[in-house]
Amino acid sequence: MTEKIKKELFGKIVRWAPSEKNPHRFYIEIKKENLREAAKTLFSKLGLRFCIASGIDNIKNMEMLYHFSDDTTGIVYTLRVFTEHDGGEIPSIADIIKGANWIERETHELLGITFTGNKDTRRLLLDPAWPENVYPLRKDYEYGRKEDIPAEDETTRRPNIKVTSDKPGKQCTIIPIGPYHPLQEEPEFFELEVRGEKVIKVNINLGYNHRSIEKLSEGKHWDNVTFLVERICGICSCSHPFAYVLAVEDLLGIGIPERAKYIRCIIAEIERIHSHLLWLGLAGHFLGYNTVWMWAWKYREPVLDIAEQISGNRNHYAMMKIGGVRRDIINSEIDGMKEKLNSIVSAVNMFKGAVMDDPVIGARTKNVGVLTKEDAVKYCVTGPTARASGLKQDIRKIDIENSAYGLVDWNMIVCENGDVFDKAVVRILEMYESVKIINQCFDKLKELPEGNICEEVREIPAGEGIGRYEAPRGEVWHYVRSDGGNTPIRHKIRAPSYMNIYSNEVAAVGGIVSDAAITLAAVDPCYCCTERMQAVENGFLKYGWEKLIEISQEKTKAMKAAIKEKEGK
């Protein structure tokens, strides 16, 4: 593939720069006027998958990195382009790669780069009332800065969406789902345009819980960033730190102890099982099958017990560390943990029968919310969403550095229909593979002496690194850059839901209204992963962190007093 790319882009490459520390990373500098042709070559002609783009403020100019993955070899090819710092323009590639539209909108509002040819310049994450020409990811944007945001009115409260009919003169009914809805655990707004019972268009609006993780990362020590990204999502609280430490290790060019590789995979696969069980329960709830919901959450408990036994926590495990892991697993406890783990196989067998053989579930999920293989490629989806549509794509098979996935035997689960049913089947069958992986890792650990779990890392040199991990929902992506200091100068994060949620604008279209909720849920959306909050009122910060803590403490005291008074009576 490398030689093919050199041949196809001959005469357009300014600088071909293979990574000095990782043979699976190539950075290809081109002029911005050649970007569209280069992107079309990599994506459409050579079949590489577009992962994400990273915008960087270099103070003297702006830089964009377009990351493409060869999912047969695990090699990442990154196109590097530069533009002016103020008023800089770069040609849009959103018409070539549909999955690039959101990142162009995000980069425009956060860094101020204009993508010529992209007509969809609506804000993606920032509040509609955010001041124009103020870009929070630029280096000159200070922490704690207060913006002169006007008081809320009807315009600023409403979602930033324009409703248009697909046929002139044809009347549509608008059905809102969210941003606060019983079937959504987090705020997100889906606006369905409906004619009769049929969904003809889906508009998606984000930005209700943007937490500025990427900006916060630039002010934290490299080691502390691990705990920050762990809080991007409670259900993926191993996946984001896993990808982050891999990115820093890629920058450093270091390996980790073998024992640490197995421990990383054990805690990560435990997370996968409990995440899939959580989704399965919620899917049952969406369908009105509350027995599945209660079963799934009941049998998720032993899995969380193992996570707690290993790390001390049911979520937010704090296991990942640059150079290895923070805690060892005691060999004498392994047999007990294996017994707990294997006890859930009978529960998974039950779910397999309940989902795959139940005619009611089949009627509600088969041929519903279909994402074709072609659309899956176009929207650059990942994880079970991609594998349910026939794409053989799993980062655990191709990017195996500093993990044990290449040292144990397991199968990638792939289906073909791309409907809600196949998305459920992929997740159920993956739980068997996770049990298989964990058992093998436990056995390998028993053959290794305890204690050697981390390489010492004293400083982070200048450079850049890419880390990615197959989270329960798909590929988690982290890009880091260092100038040799104690903090990252850029940290780009992309969760799988960022790509998968966008595909609902085709998967939900053509179906009926009653199927919309389960279709939207079928990608297992994690909105807090997709967002990255400050409350502002009349131009002033309403709640700072100290105030939020104070409010929480006061509420706890009031609750304790009320309980005490009630007990006294």
Tens of pLDDT along 337-374? 999 999 999 999 999 988 888 888 888 899 999 999 99
Residue 474 lies in a domain: yes
Q: Rounded to an integer, what distance in angstroms lies between the CA atom of residue 504 and that of residue 508?
A: 5
Strand 25-30 versus strand 75-84 pairing type: parallel
Sign of CA dihedral 412, 413, 419, 424: negative
Are 284 and 326 in a shared domain?
Answer: yes
Enter the tokens of residue 251.
């920058």
pLDDT cut 90: percent of the chain above it: 65
Return the DSSP state at 149.
Answer: P
Nearest to 177 by CA among 436, 421, 515, 430: 515
pLDDT cut 70: percent of the chain above it: 88
Residue 546 lies in a domain: yes
Q: Rounded to an integer, what distance in angstroms lies between the CA atom of residue 170 and that of residue 195?
A: 8
Lowest mean per-residue pLDDT among 135-139, 172-176, 304-308, 417-421: 172-176
Q: Rounded to an integer, what distance in angstroms lies between the CA atom of residue 274 and that of residue 396?
A: 18
pLDDT of residue 176: 80
Q: Which domain holds residue 337?
A: 213-530
Residue 8 lies in a domain: yes
Position 320 confidence tier, pLDDT thresholds 50, 70, 90: very high
Are 544 and 562 in a shared domain?
Answer: yes
Contact of 521 with 286, CB cutoff 8 Å: yes
pLDDT in tens, 426-449: 999 999 999 999 999 999 999 999
Q: Rounded to an integer, what distance in angstroms lies between the CA atom of residue 28 and that of residue 25?
A: 10
Nearest to 498 by CA among 51, 200, 16: 51
Q: Which strand ranges, in their side-by-side order, compose the sheet holding 49-57?
A: 13-18, 25-30, 75-84, 61-70, 49-57
Please name the residue that has the structure tokens 């996935």: 405
Residue 152 lies in a domain: yes
pLDDT of residue 189: 80
- Looking at the predicted structure, is the pLDDT value of residue 158 above 50? no
pLDDT of residue 549: 64
Q: Rounded to an integer, what distance in angstroms lies between the CA atom of residue 156 and that of residue 207?
A: 13
Are 488 and 457 in a shared domain?
Answer: yes
pLDDT in tens, 460-514: 999 999 999 999 999 999 999 999 999 999 999 999 999 999 999 999 999 988 8
Contact of 253 with 25, CB cutoff 8 Å: no
Residue 166 lies in a domain: no
- Looking at the predicted structure, is the pLDDT value of residue 539 above 60? no
Lowest mean per-residue pLDDT among 64-73, 99-108, 487-496, 544-553: 544-553
Nearest to 213 by CA among 196, 198, 230: 230
Are 500 and 545 in a shared domain?
Answer: no
User: What residues contact residue 204 under an 8 Å CB cut-off, 6+ apart?
Assistant: 188, 189, 190, 191, 501, 502, 504, 505
Of 150 and 531, the one with more pLDDT: 150
Are 543 and 523 in a shared domain?
Answer: no
Position 534 confidence tier, pLDDT thresholds 50, 70, 90: very low
pLDDT of residue 406: 96
How much is the average pLDDT of 139-151?
A: 72
pLDDT in tens, 77-123: 999 999 999 999 999 999 999 999 999 999 999 999 999 999 888 88
Sign of CA dihedral 11, 7, 69, 119: positive
Residue 199 lies in a domain: no
Are 93 and 228 in a shared domain?
Answer: no
Are 525 and 391 in a shared domain?
Answer: yes
Q: Rounded to an integer, what distance in angstroms lies between the CA atom of residue 260 and that of residue 451?
A: 10
Residue 370 lies in a domain: yes
Are 140 and 246 in a shared domain?
Answer: no
Of 170 and 34, the one with more pLDDT: 34
DSSP reduced 3-state for 2: helix
Question: Which of 160, 189, 221 is where one domain is finished?
Answer: 160
Are 497 and 560 in a shared domain?
Answer: no
Enter the tokens of residue 229.
């990204």
- Looking at the predicted structure, is the pLDDT value of residue 157 above 80? no
pLDDT of residue 152: 55
Residue 196 lies in a domain: no
Are 435 and 544 in a shared domain?
Answer: no
pLDDT of residue 178: 73
CATH number assigned to the domain comprising residue 441: 1.10.645.10
Q: Rounded to an integer, what distance in angstroms lies between the CA atom of residue 344 and that of residue 302?
A: 8
Position 173 confidence tier, pLDDT thresholds 50, 70, 90: confident
Are 517 and 564 in a shared domain?
Answer: no
- Count up the domains in the chain and report the number: 3
- Looking at the predicted structure, is the pLDDT value of residue 545 above 80? no
Mean pLDDT of the chain: 88
Question: Which of 145, 160, 175 is where one domain is finished?
Answer: 160
pLDDT of residue 442: 97
DSSP reduced 3-state for 327: coil
How much is the average pLDDT of 164-168?
A: 55
Position 535 confidence tier, pLDDT thresholds 50, 70, 90: very low
CATH number assigned to the domain comprising residue 14: 3.30.460.80
Position 544 confidence tier, pLDDT thresholds 50, 70, 90: low
User: What residues contact residue 337 under an 8 Å CB cut-off, 6+ apart?
Assistant: 306, 309, 310, 442
Predicted TM-score of the model (pTM): 0.89
Are 387 and 338 in a shared domain?
Answer: yes
Q: Rounded to an integer, what distance in angstroms lies between the CA atom of residue 101 and that of residue 52?
A: 10
Question: Which of 127, 142, 160 is where one domain is finished?
Answer: 160
DSSP reduced 3-state for 229: helix
